[in-house]
Chains A and B, each alone.
Chain A
Amino acid sequence: MFQIGLSLLLLSMATPTRAAGWGGLRGQIMVQGEVPERVTFDLGRDTCCLAAKPTDRSVLVGENGGLAGVIVYLKAKRGVEVPIDTLPPTDPVEISNTGCAFAPRITLLRAGQPLVLVNEDPTTHNVKATTRRNGTFNLVLPPGDRRPLRLARAERSPVTIACNVHPFMRGYLLVRDDPYAVVTGPDGRFELPHLPAGVWRFEFWHEKGELAGVKLAGGETDGRGRAELTIRADETLDLGELRVPADRFK
């Protein structure tokens, strides 16, 4: 009974306004030109890392030229309420230290959804993050450890996560109140199938910097990699191929 009440309370808190309908957004982000060579890591003497041979995955381009690892998310302007019709999932999201790399490299989390830091390596890791709304943490994670965390508040932007025992490790975490965020796949494709209808501001974020000046139908992203897009009810807005010059990643 209490749980039902709590769920209703959370649902009411998470539903500030009712959507006028639901639509979708999809597209594909493509890199034009040769991306810079990957940086070679100094792996030190850690036998686990020497065996795993982690590589620089900051700019991942698929065989088709698609750019992986771009977060496309609805980032409403200040004071604009976004309709939300789902509660944060209760299934935990895991960030694993595997082969001296964070897996996944980019993690999306709903505020309040359980997060678990996992160390699947036989070596010690630590996980360090400085968030703006959920405090900071820098925790030792012994081999086999599973450390639950709860980040209750949404962040405006992705947060960097790092391991200082292995300073070459990098990951990113975006915590949002809403489910309107997606990471591009290995082919650069993304799809947000369930968005409230309306005119919304979206951001195209990459760890090397926002994707500014990317041409879209009817305009381009601004200096912060943002664009206002109109989502129509029962339609999926297809942005097609969004081309990003490779020299941006130098």
Chain B
Amino acid sequence: MNHDGTIAVDASNGTFSVPVCRLNRAFRWSACCFAFPLFRVQSVLTLLLSVIVACLGCDAETHFEPNAALRATHRLTAEQEAFIDGVLTELFGTPSEPQLPEEITSLDLAALTQAAGPVISYEPGVTQGLFRRHCARCHGVTGDGKGPASYYQHPYPRDFRQGVFKWKSTYHEVPPTNSDLLSVIERGIPGTAMPSFQLLTPKERDMLRQYVIYLAMRGQLERELIWLVAEEFGPGETLPEDEALSIARELLQPIVKAWVEAPSAIVLPNEAALPPASTESIQLGYELYHSERSGCAKCHGEEGQGGGAPGDDYDDWNREQLREQLVVEEALGWHRLPITKAPARAITGTRLRGGDAPIDLFRRLHQGIAGTPMPAIGARRPGEESALTDEEVAALTDYVGSIMDVNAHHESNEKNAVKEPQISANEHY
């Protein structure tokens, strides 16, 4: 590569140059293939070759965005940032060539490889680069929720890098299960820009599910490394590569463990706790909703109209951005999305985002919504104390469901069961 950012290619007996695409956004790479100026080309064949080289060159420039805001807030030096980048690349590869550290056995590298990289097809019906084709415009190549279309959305696309997801069946602090993620990919999220991907094949959806987890784990490890450097290293300190990798692998283990063990932490009310809705249960739910025992009406309003809590509140993603914006505005640059507040939602006249079965609503009330101000009214962990009993949460579900027009209660016994994807992780893609 030349100093002026061009690639010199010795083609046949002539030389030409193409500008290296410096854009790191997947949606732009294909456009840049047509944007380079023509220089002396000796034949149509050479021209075609140059297009291919330019396209490959563009993709070679696609990289994972650093978590610039968190790094700047913690005042990492350039050397420390390079240290973190090196560790992440060593363990997770690049957006076009993913790798899996040996700690992660729950994901399939073949699936990730097909989900990663530029969009291309070598045979009918088989698409490479599924994530960039279907997801990166909103979620970004890095999964940071800052894809080019994100600016115009409310709520913003999920930033996977905290490993926190809202619509799930598990306890508050536990990652979603595979079937939770598949369910969101298949169903979409009503009331948001997240569409249904039901037209993709189950295999393709599962590849995307795996790639989302891959990006989440990578992002979580990056955060851990940033905190490690900020809190345990001396000023400007870095580590030799082998020691750095060893520490990173240690930090990765609990992240992987939490994802793998998520199916063992699903909120499972027993049948007795979730009987069919009745006039009595709805009345009890009404009383609980308006009582100080639940506090629902304080935020969601006496009539479910929302906006009851005073002052400004934010979800975890915006709050972190807010804090970082105050500290290091310049570090965010164009990556910064305008901060949005998280007032308590109106629960009448709106659609349930995380599934409209009673069990979904029960879980929202029982565990709150991870990453948001919505608190858990059930136990933090199985067997621990709670604000309301499961039976009372069920009654509250009946009342809230009655004003939210939730599907008739209890069609969802099967949703109580632990569902895992039908595709074997070892199946060859």
Q: Which residues of A contact B (CB under 8 A)?
A: 41-46, 75, 77-78, 122-128, 130, 132, 135-143, 145, 147-149, 156-157, 164-168, 222-224
Contact = CB atoms under 8 A, between A and B. Distances in A.
Given A136-B172, A224-B230, A142 B295 contact: yes
Contacts of A165: 295, 298-299, 309
Contacts, number: 101
Nearest to A145: B387
B313 A167 contact: yes
Contacts of B230: 224
A46 B376 contact: no
A44 B295 contact: no
B235 to A, nearest CB: 6
B293 interface: yes
B271 interface: no
Given A135-B173, A136-B370, A164-B375, A156 B311 contact: no
B380 A41 contact: no
- Residue of A124, A128, A130, A137 with most chain B CB atoms under a 10 A cut-off: A124
B295 A140 contact: yes
Nearest to B380: A137
Contact of B375 (A128, A143, A222): A128
B14 interface: no
A158 B235 CA distance: 20
A132 B385 CA distance: 23
A174 to B, nearest CB: 12
Nearest to B312: A167
B386 to A, nearest CB: 8
A41 B295 contact: no
A77 B232 contact: yes
Interface string B351-389: 000000000000000001010011111001000010110
B292 interface: yes
A41 B310 CA distance: 9
Contact of A122 (B292, B298, B309, B385): B292
Interface in B10-58: none
Contact of A138 (B298, B313, B376): B376
B335 interface: no
B133 interface: no
Nearest to B379: A139
Interface in B284-321: 292-295, 298-299, 308-313, 316
A122 B298 CA distance: 13
Given A124-B298, A142-B295, A167-B311, A77 B234 contact: yes
A249 to B, nearest CB: 13
Contact of B311 (A77, A135, A168): A168
A25 B173 CA distance: 38
**Could you say which interface size class chain B belongs to?**
35 or more
Contacts of B368: 138
Nearest to B377: A140
A164 B234 contact: no
A166 B231 contact: no
17 contacts: A44-B311, A46-B298, A77-B234, A122-B292, A124-B292, A124-B295, A128-B373, A136-B173, A137-B173, A138-B374, A148-B385, A164-B309, A165-B298, A165-B299, A165-B309, A167-B311, A168-B311
The 6 A-B pairs at the shortest CB distance, nearest first, are namely A44-B310, A124-B295, A164-B373, A126-B375, A78-B232, A135-B173
A138 B370 CA distance: 8
Interface of B: 75, 172-173, 227-228, 230-235, 292-295, 298-299, 308-313, 316, 368, 370, 373-377, 380, 385, 387-388
A138 to B, nearest CB: 4
Contact of A140 (B234, B308, B309, B376): B376
Nearest to A80: B232
A166 B233 CA distance: 37
Contact of B295 (A126, A136, A138): A126
A156 B310 CA distance: 32
A224 B229 CA distance: 12
A46 B292 CA distance: 11
B172 A138 contact: yes
Nearest to B320: A130
A124 B288 CA distance: 12
A41 B75 CA distance: 31
Contacts of A123: 292, 295, 298
A45 B312 CA distance: 15
A136 B163 CA distance: 12
Contacts of B309: 44, 164-167
A130 B232 CA distance: 20
A28 to B, nearest CB: 26
Given A124-B298, A166-B309, 7 more contacts: A44-B308, A44-B311, A75-B231, A139-B376, A142-B292, A165-B309, A224-B230
Contacts of B388: 140
A40 to B, nearest CB: 11
A111 B235 CA distance: 27
Contacts of A139: 375-376, 380, 387
Contacts of B316: 130
A77 B233 CA distance: 7
Nearest to A144: B292
A16 to B, nearest CB: 16
Nearest to B341: A167
Contacts of B173: 135-137
Nearest to A209: B327
A142 B231 CA distance: 36
